Chains A and B, each alone.
Chain A
Amino acid sequence: MASIEGTILDFKRLDQLARGGTSLHRIDARAKVVVALVFILSVVSFDRYALTALLPFFLYPAVVLALGNLPADYFVRKVALFLPFAVAVGMLNPIFDREVMIRLGPFDISGGWVSCASIVVRAILTISAALLLVGVTGFPEICRALERLGVPQTFAVQLLFLYRYIFVLTEEGARSSRARELRSFGGKGLGIHSFGSLVGHLLLRTWMRADRIHMAMLARGFTGRFHALQPTRFGGRELLYLLGWSALFVVLRLRNVPDLLGSLVTGALR
């Protein structure tokens, strides 16, 4: 639990980064959210053996990192945290799919390896896009952007609250878990049973907290609607940002640019 606690604390840093003042930070959140969505859709819609065609997409995270003045090592570590999941998903491909696709001198590379690599690359791209979006926008802003893009307010507010209370909840969970650990003296405690009631208590406490929060909201005149404060404007800059990136992603999706470049170069050599 301590490590989960640490990870969550580390995520608070994303929030700090989101309050940077670069021109990228100042772009209306809706433009950034839509661009990230187009990016993710383009990446995941590729054929399962696509690999080289994916590589130009690294341009987007690289540019966002640079323009947003974000610490690259921090994001690399965060993405690495999720990679084992992607590897686990792709792990069995080389076993089932042994048909040789590429011959590199004496090495035969099967389709399984290619699709496995493709999954990992896609994971890196999509996860870094999502993390970077939070890093230059901030989670609350994303929720508000979603709402203004037409997502029902209930969902947007749910997300907002999830984000606000995930820290409180992890702390509560970590405290309970620590209390259990300290009284189980290195053994298993009472095993899985004690965890059952621990989680149950956590749920009840969460419920009670939700009740108290609702009370605090009602006490301040809440009538079921969240009102936006100073809304930002969707202007020319936003339009340019949105259209520029989207056009690039669509082109990269439809044309295998590394292939084109390759044939250009080899064509010139011939």
Chain B
Amino acid sequence: MPVIEVKIWDLERLVGQKLERSMLEQILPSLKCEVEEITDDTVSYEATHDRPDLYSAELLSLYIRGLLGIETGLPRVKVVEKAEKAEINGPDYRPYALFAVVRNVNLDDEAIRQLMQLQEKVHLTFGRNRRKISVGLYDLRGIEFPVKYTVADPDLKMKPLGFGFEMCLKEVLKSHPKGIEYGHLVSQYDKYPIILDADGKVVSFPPITNSEDYRVTEETRDVLIDVTSTDLESARRTITLFAYAVSMRGGEIQQLQLSGKINEVSPRLEPDMMRYPVELNRKLLGLDIGLEETMRLLAKMRMDASPINSNELEIRYPYFRTDILHPVDISEEVAMAYGYNNIEPESMPPLHPGREHPLEVFTRAVRESMIGLGLIEVNNYMFTNPGLMYDKMNVPRQPIIEVENPRHEAYTALRTWIIPQLLNILSSSKHAGYPQRIFETGDVVLPDDKSENRAREERHLAFAIAGKGTTLTNGLSAVKSLFNMFGVPVKFEKYKHPSFIEGRTAQIVTPEGPAGLIGEVHPQVISNFNLNVPIVAAELNIEVIHKCYLSQQKKEH
């Protein structure tokens, strides 16, 4: 989630009131903003993904005014009557561009910093790192209307931001820092998106960089904003968002008549609308809040509402609210204005008797049996790597579920058996004294093309006994005692497995078929784990024991 920094004096200037620290600590969380730090002049907070309008001081101030009751209902902006013109003929892979103009603004250093922050955070989150949306702001001085969103050849020249000289677009992708970072969004195409003014001067190379000639400074009076996008609806809401944000710095919004691929007026300043059945307050929130009260609460959240009938409101909210999809989103606004901490929790009596999953119950019975046999339970990650599962165990590699994007070489795949992880624990516990007797129960995952998720899970039990004098007998007697506790007969049959010593390995066989294997760990494997004591280890499928136990019980009854 993006962390936003705002100067308190700037916010006070926008709100029009002194803001005490305690006030900020209370108001920001009620707008889903989690305060990270408040210093003498700065507050930083984490905003949520769904609220790009809270990524800078401008629109944040709007909501604070609402919650403080300074100004409620839909935010109002001044509008210049005459519309300018823009032609939209962008490339098919980034077809949309929307424009807005805000005139007569007052920008100081902090105001510019806030707008840059808004732009950067919107790019990162809502804009999906400029892939879906990118935004540009320009000093309008010297730009002639109609502006054009069109395509350009890679050898068209421009002066990119921060550079004192011209270079061609292809070069921008190669050597400009933003070109290097975002070039992949356009570099595979023959033609690049470009914004030109009426005279053909390059205003911007979206979504890469702007022209240095129209950089926004403290002298800027009129601002041109563009949003280019792959998604028209998101672009519409974003251009409105930026037009409102810039206009909070004291300007008037001027709309543009778009033509070409899009024929509409931009930015859209009329509010968005939604019908809200007030009974949702009771049904979803559990709060008896009536029509009038709902209207009052929503006004605090900068929405207008008017009754359609006794049960329904028509809600009008700023078009830049990208997060309102469904009436339940209005319910949340009501709850937020009401105050989450004012909502009284209501206990839910059990709807039915509780119940653990049968596999967990049986697993716990097995775990308790193992503890009764004097073994200590350990807990490993399911994440492991094929080297541990197979190479270190003297076993040829077998199919295993691996991930495409591991973070650590030790954790690249899901375990297919547990014994190797037990040996790892023995290996890192040599100081803990012998004999060591450990066990673990847990899930292992095996590739399985027949399953809908192409994997099959098994619940396993594995144990290991290590120390001078340990032989297969120690392991066999533990398995036998375990099965005795469940009244399940067990046999041991000769078995060969490369991790174990030949002639000292057995398959564990039950009435429901093989349940696992047991053996004295091969000296080579013991050495692979930097150990030097004899070890007997076993691994069993708990689900087989579970099945045996159930059928045994059936027979008895």
Partners in one complex: no
Task: Please report B residues at the A interface, Cβ cutoff 8 Å.
Answer: none
